[in-house]
Amino acid sequence: MLDDALTDTMRRTGASAGGIYLLDETAQVLALVVLCGVPAEVAWPWRRVPLGAPVPVSDAVREDRLVWVGSQDDMARAYPRTAATLPYRFTLAAAPLQGRARCWGALVLLWPASHPANATARERGHIGAAARRVARVLDEAVVPPAVPEHPRLIPADAVARRYGGQAPQAAADYIERLPEGAVALDLQGRITFLTASAESLLGVDAGRLLGTRPWQSLPWLDDTHVEDHYRTAVISREPVTFTALRPPDTWLDFQLYPDVSGISVRITRTTAPESDRPVPGRASRSTGAAATSPPQVGRLYQLVHLAAALTETVAVRDVVELIADQVLPAFGADGLVLSAADAGRLKITGHHGYDQRTIDRLDGLPLDTDLTPAGQALTDGTPSFFASPSEMARRYPRAPRISGKQAWAFLPLVVSGRPVGCCILSYDEPHAFNADERAVLTSLAGLIAQALDRARLYDATRDLARGLQQALLPRSLPSLPGLESAARYLPASHGMDIGGDFYDVIRIDATTAAAVIGDVQGHNVPAAALMGQVRTAIHAAAGAPPDQVLVRTNQVLADLESDLLVSCLYAHIDLARQEVVLASAGHPPPLVHHPAMPPGVMELDPGPLLGIDPGLAYPLTTHPLPPGTTLALYTDGLTEAPGTDPDQAANSLARHLAQHSGHSLDRLIDALLHHARPTAHYTDDIAVLLLRTGPPPTGD
């Protein structure tokens, strides 16, 4: 289903490559499910993309817009992480797959370097229409497609041109008559055809070359530059030329000509480049495979990608998820244990691929443990690699029986000579670690160590601030006959998980109450602390007219000499008189709905923010509050998002409030939050306080 949708889109738009991502709403991750036109290795770092990642496909879904990147310069400016791991010339578009009731994910298309950098309005229209067609396919699916572990690769011939009955043998005979060598590669880099002249020039018969990649089957082409030339050709779709030495003294020119179906390679003899001609007294360049093979270019770009991703992790859980989602697949590992050094012990901060019983046994081991190699690795700062249980058992007899794993890499995490933890990658089958993997994993360990150390400091600060904030927010709302209430606070989905949003319901007497909601500027400990002081000031003044409550609170804020500003909405609810009196200090007006009246946004005359000038006044607004009325007080995180109009968002929420008015208040909050943020991605804190009036009270 998706294969046909993608290949049809590529043919219509002229794209050289494309992919479809589906959104896993639970994990907040975009998973690549279908790919065509580029090697799987190139797309591997982008197999699973967090919704909050600063990459084109995530921006397209989060912001519900077409993201166009016209050149490598544009990519470097807007998305430096992507540019670092894909340093090739191409044009990219990412469009959200917006269905009838949800966003399914995104469509990504690539064009060759020859494509114009700027998209025309017509082209943007074609891409948008293509995304809608794919979304329609998903909407109409009887069973929505599952998110697979690995993306499905569509063969290039699904979009390649056809040659209408011409005899392939005639073409092969024509090529064989030419003096130079000819080789055909598919888009994965594998040799699919070569002439007798190519066999002679390469010095290897066809049987040993067909189905292999040249840089893997020919030792003298085992060079990162060769693979990188191939990647340049397949992604940029531009001709590429390079020269290589076939030992002992045969220089060959390789000319690569890519298109949508693969790469044609022309091989000819040449003379040695000027820089490689022998000079008396100077050693010549080494030929053939080096004693230690250089890392494959794909592995190098994976390391760059992972390094960039680790710099963006914030909390310890982010580090764990990144390693599980991207490091394990990149190295073919099946299990992960990430431990942090804490009070002389290794406390497990995250794991993947292990049962809880094993984790319980490993958690809390002393730093000098001899049960596993983790202690020794931390003591001397040297990684340990074990290719099989027998190899492990020779030094640590008890270790192989703990988990049943078959191979391990123990990576000490050290920052400035200080041990911060240990990262263990494990395999379900025996695994020999070559020099390439050992070198890359050792380098990666240093990056993980810095990310983990930074994340632990962040988590400690966050936990302190969250504890402060939770202590200052009300544990429960007071009960009042004739008035239901419910509230919810949600921190921003990326950041400190704290803020200055607050709410409260204050019982004044049997028939009156005060409802307050506010937002202190900032997302840090000072904001949370000031929020508590503002709440205390409002409590002390509650019962006075709403304008006087705000005036007194404003004076307290001036006495505190804080640089932070506060928005606040104070509502005095009189159930006996069936009315509410409100005063606003620069806060969004509430939503209001009564079954007998259309829903809407209450019209208020707002005053200035608290903290600007202690001498300012706050206008009052009186509104009827008959039984059955629902009031929704909220902070601006509910209605303000990039690319949206807050007023339109508030009116849409008011209509949604009416549509779900029959629900309980808790379910109604859920409905409002899902309507405002269907992807559960909050760029700001959100506080929501719902109030619903019932039958009027009958007495004290």
pLDDT at residue 42, rounded to an integer:
78
The region of weakest confidence among 153-167, 195-209, 372-386, 639-653 is: 153-167
Domain boundary (437, 465, 493) is at 465
Q: At 573, is the pLDDT very low, low, confident or very high (cuts 50, 70, 90)?
A: very high
Q: Are residues 444 and 537 in the same domain?
A: no
Does 292 score more than 50 pLDDT? no
Residue 54 and residue 188 in one domain:
no
Does residue 112 sit within a domain?
A: yes
pLDDT of residue 149: 74
pLDDT at residue 682 tops 70: no
Residue that terminates a domain, selected from 135, 158, 181 = 158
Residue 699 in domain: no
The verdict on 124 and 228 lying in the same domain is no
pLDDT digits (tens, 9 = 90+) for 517-546: 998 887 667 777 788 888 889 999 998 999
Residue 407 has pLDDT above 70, yes or no: yes
The answer on 481 and 378 residing in a single domain is no
Q: Residue 3: pLDDT above 50?
A: yes
Identify whether 290 is part of a domain.
no
Residue 308: inside a domain, yes or no? Answer: yes
The answer on 545 and 615 residing in a single domain is: yes
pLDDT at 294 over 50: no
For 546, the 3-state DSSP assignment is helix
194 and 127 housed in the same domain: no
Average pLDDT over residues 574-597: 92
pLDDT band at 620 (very low <50, low <70, confident <90, very high): very high
Same domain, 503 and 649: yes
pTM above 0.85, yes or no: no
CATH code for the domain in which residue 398 is found: 3.30.450.40
pLDDT of residue 699: 41
**Domain check: are 111 and 131 in the same one?**
yes
Helix residue spans in 24-111 (DSSP H)? 40-43, 56-62, 72-78, 80-85
Q: Does 470 reside within a domain?
A: no
pLDDT digits (tens, 9 = 90+) for 222-241: 877 788 888 888 888 889 99
Percent of the residues in the chain that have a pLDDT greater than 70, as a whole number: 89
Task: Indicate whether 278 belongs to any domain.
Answer: no
Predicted pLDDT of residue 157? 61
**Residue 594, helix vs strand vs coil:** strand
Q: Give domain status of residue 483, yes or no.
A: yes
Q: What mean pLDDT value characterizes the chain?
A: 84
Q: Kindly tell me if the per-residue pLDDT of 366 is higher than 70.
A: yes
Range of the domain at 602: 476-693
> How much is the average pLDDT of 8-36?
88
CATH number at residue 246: 3.30.450.20
How confident is the model over 306-322, as a mean pLDDT? 81
**Is the separation of the CB atoms in 254 and 267 below 8 Å?**
yes
Q: What are the residue ranges of helices labelled H in 182-293?
A: 196-202, 206-209, 214-217, 224-236
| Residue-level pLDDT at 20 | 94
User: What is the domain count for the chain?
Assistant: 4
The reply to whether 541 and 641 lie within a common domain is yes
Task: Give the number of other Cβ atoms within 10 Å of residue 423's Cβ.
Answer: 27
Report if residue 80 sits inside a domain.
yes
Of 465, 493, 508, which residue constitutes the final position of a domain?
465
- CATH number of the CATH domain containing 676: 3.60.40.10
Q: State the pLDDT confidence band at 156, using cuts at 50, 70 and 90.
A: low
Q: In terms of domains, do 405 and 526 share one? A: no
The verdict on 218 and 192 lying in the same domain is yes
Nearest to 326 by CA among 25, 106, 31, 19: 31
* 509, 427: one domain: no
- pLDDT computed for residue 512 by the predictor: 94
More confident residue, 579 or 150: 579
Look at residues 47, 38, 422, 48 and name the one whose alpha carbon lies nearest to residue 236: 38
| Three-point CA angle 345, 347, 352, nearest 5° | 145
Check residue 66 and give its pLDDT. Answer: 94
